[in-house]
Structure 1
């Protein structure tokens, strides 16, 4: 069995599916790895480094033709700009592993099924203990939270730390983080290290201790809480009434801030509006908003993806694919997530075993044997539920291959 790594083609995507360290570890386990020439250059990894790690260098068509497992950062399900060419080049009976935006683009699972391609969506890795080392969303979020603070510090017309000088005292910047998942907590910690006064808010009551643990101050709003977390550990969409009450209570908090970083996203849904245009009017001239939910519509009503909007003196930044701007470490973490998943999929004796009794397999495989076995995906697509025995029996049997 050959694991293939094509170069990413989406404009602005600098990450790579595996780095040389991952290749070396997989080769030591008896796996074969083929990589497109130049695939790792944008992430700081040369062809020579991959060759030294044991990979075979090849052109793009050879990778797609000869590899059994194709690993991408952005599969055609996520890469809507240039992904069609990859989809046309992808032969049947392959296994495609990568980010697919499955909940927002469930039709891609049907497309793979029609091509007899087994699709493994990395965004669907369950939030369970034994899958933590495969969780690409957390890996990316940590990097995004860090980089957002650096953007805020760069764009703000004042310094983050307090300074007492002969020319007077410079007050510290006030930084406010809205949403403290992995990205938000990293943003809190990074802003604190830069010397800012950091506050944070999250709808989850359990987030209070997490905010305190990274040196930030929790902001508490006097509003009735709702159920905020899904069974898979991801954020749950809030009611319109709750969001309206949250916005009203948040206006006074925002008026005091120099930098606001928003991180609220719900998988498969448009991002909730946390900062309205009216709330922006109440903020200080010169304040900066970095909207990390811009790719899903934005948490600020005025956000434009990939643009900088200035409204009433407030700068609103909607970054696109922020993780790719830290491509070396983002690829290192993504590659380790992929390596761990591949080690989970491939047994010690080199057999590929897609056992649907395993929660990790059941939750991440979106297409196999010409069908879509994932219950949530079938629901989104309006397909009838499958009998419980179909996916577990057929899939594991048909997918055993020597690596």
Structure 2
């Protein structure tokens, strides 16, 4: 008979309205069963295609939310909306806004967003991997709102005009958006701040154009840069924008003048909505219309592909948990571990989970 796991982990059901993902799949819970004993909140995986019976067969036990949060480690996709005891640690994909001023009696927060771009944790970098889902979902949402056809198949006597699509910003989500749009037959353009990004954009088959960096600064030069960007975007029917610095508000790139110059029926998918948005008309988790253009401010696009997004998220979490706990051992969050240093993002004082 196998030894019982020393570490209890709890899997929460996502409470954020519209969130369909789950942080761990039954398959990964089964793989972790020699290291963890799992409690799960009933219904946690239902919207991602995993029943409570699937979790029970994987070795997890259904429990009340109050019992789940009393585990040694609480796992979720978004920051938990309920209080976690100070003796526990919570693992989620959020933002690093909270942390520097956190009080010692709060639970230890391990934010997967802090691993983004950390070379030693590429296999655990949930933020980057979810960004690929986000970029794909953004284009599909844009096409849905445009009610456009795709020029993937041309029959005799038929002609479908390809969509003219632009991505603003050169990052994982925007590059995935370009790759998806090209597969749908779109004419693709990328507008970026750094000329050094040209090669990676052109390898995807997209055209690269530079944005004047003055658009990020205050003063009259910013207005000139916005007018230049408006001219670059004037013929685009779909725009995916995702330009922001971590911890800072997103700059407004598309103002009313630029919006009014776009073709009627165009769609802007603002992936920077959670940071304020790159479009002056963006409203977080809303789709609004201005000047006959739809502006999507959803932070839930990855949830549109909940099953695949959850599988990828769970894979990252499993790899991280395998790093944190060896079979038969207790949960030890070593101060000397650079990966944990990134995850914590702060000094944790007397937290008993940090050894």
TM-score, normalisation: structure 1: 0.79
Q: For each residue in 1:342-394, what CA deviation from the matched residue of structure 2 results, as whole angstroms up to 9, or x when unmatched? A: 1222235523332223221112114xxxxx507xxxxxxxxxxxxxxxx6xx7
- Cα deviation for residue 129 of structure 1 reads 2.1
Find 1:69's aligned residue among 56, 66, 73: 73
- Cα deviation for residue 161 of structure 1 reads 1.8
Distance 2:284 2:116 in 1: 28
- 1:307 matched to 2:298? The reply is no
* Structure 2 CA distance for partners of 1:41 and 1:219, relative to 1, 3 Å: same
> What secondary structure sits across from 1:17 in the alignment?
coil
- Cα deviation for residue 164 of structure 1 reads 5.5
Q: For each residue in 1:18-70, what CA deviation from the matched residue of structure 2 results, as whole angstroms up to 9, or x when unmatched? A: 1112101111x4322221222111111011111222212222222223x1111
Q: Is the 8 A contact 1:34 1:63 kept in 2?
A: yes
- 1:114 matched to 2:105? The reply is yes
Q: For each residue in 1:280-334, what CA deviation from the matched residue of structure 2 results, as whole angstroms up to 9, or x when unmatched? A: 1111122211111122211111112233322222222222322122211111111
- Cα deviation for residue 166 of structure 1 reads 6.1
Match of 2:85 in 1: 91
* Structure 2 CA distance for partners of 1:305 and 1:119, relative to 1, 3 Å: closer
> What secondary structure sits across from 1:266 in the alignment?
coil
- Cα deviation for residue 167 of structure 1 reads 5.7
Match of 1:239 in 2: 217
> What secondary structure sits across from 2:32 in the alignment?
helix
Distance 2:88 2:154 in 1: 62
Distance 1:307 1:41 in 2: 25
Match of 2:4 in 1: none
Distance 2:130 2:244 in 1: 14
Find 2:18's aligned residue among 12, 15, 21: 12
Match of 1:382 in 2: none
Q: Which moved more, 1:354-363 or 1:18-27?
A: 354-363
Find 2:341's aligned residue among 356, 362, 366: 362
Q: For each residue in 1:223-261, what CA deviation from the matched residue of structure 2 results, as whole angstroms up to 9, or x when unmatched? A: 4x59xxxxxxxxxx9433675454232111111111111
> What secondary structure sits across from 1:37 in the alignment?
coil
Q: Is the 8 A contact 1:270 1:296 kept in 2?
A: yes
Match of 1:34 in 2: 39
> What secondary structure sits across from 1:148 in the alignment?
helix
> What secondary structure sits across from 1:4 in the alignment?
strand
> What secondary structure sits across from 2:170 in the alignment?
coil
TM-score, normalisation: structure 2: 0.89
Q: Is the 8 A contact 1:162 1:172 kept in 2?
A: no
Q: For each residue in 1:116-143, what CA deviation from the matched residue of structure 2 results, as whole angstroms up to 9, or x when unmatched? A: x222111111522221111121122111
Match of 1:175 in 2: 165
Find 2:54's aligned residue among 35, 49, 58: 49
Distance 1:325 1:168 in 2: 32
> What secondary structure sits across from 1:198 in the alignment?
strand
Distance 2:299 2:117 in 1: 25
Q: Is the 8 A contact 1:347 1:353 kept in 2?
A: no
Unaligned runs of 5+ in 2: 1-6
- 1:294 matched to 2:273? The reply is yes
Considering only aligned residues, what root-mean-square deviation do their CA atoms show, in Å? Answer: 2.5
Unaligned runs of 5+ in 1: 77-82, 227-236, 367-371, 375-390
Distance 2:187 2:278 in 1: 22
Q: For each residue in 1:62-82, what CA deviation from the matched residue of structure 2 results, as whole angstroms up to 9, or x when unmatched? A: 2223x1111111224xxxxxx
> What secondary structure sits across from 1:219 in the alignment?
strand
* Structure 2 CA distance for partners of 1:12 and 1:165, relative to 1, 3 Å: same
Distance 2:43 2:22 in 1: 10
Distance 1:6 1:259 in 2: 36
Match of 1:219 in 2: 209
Q: Is the 8 A contact 2:237 2:265 kept in 1?
A: yes
> What secondary structure sits across from 1:34 in the alignment?
strand
Q: Which moved more, 1:267-276 or 1:122-131?
A: 122-131
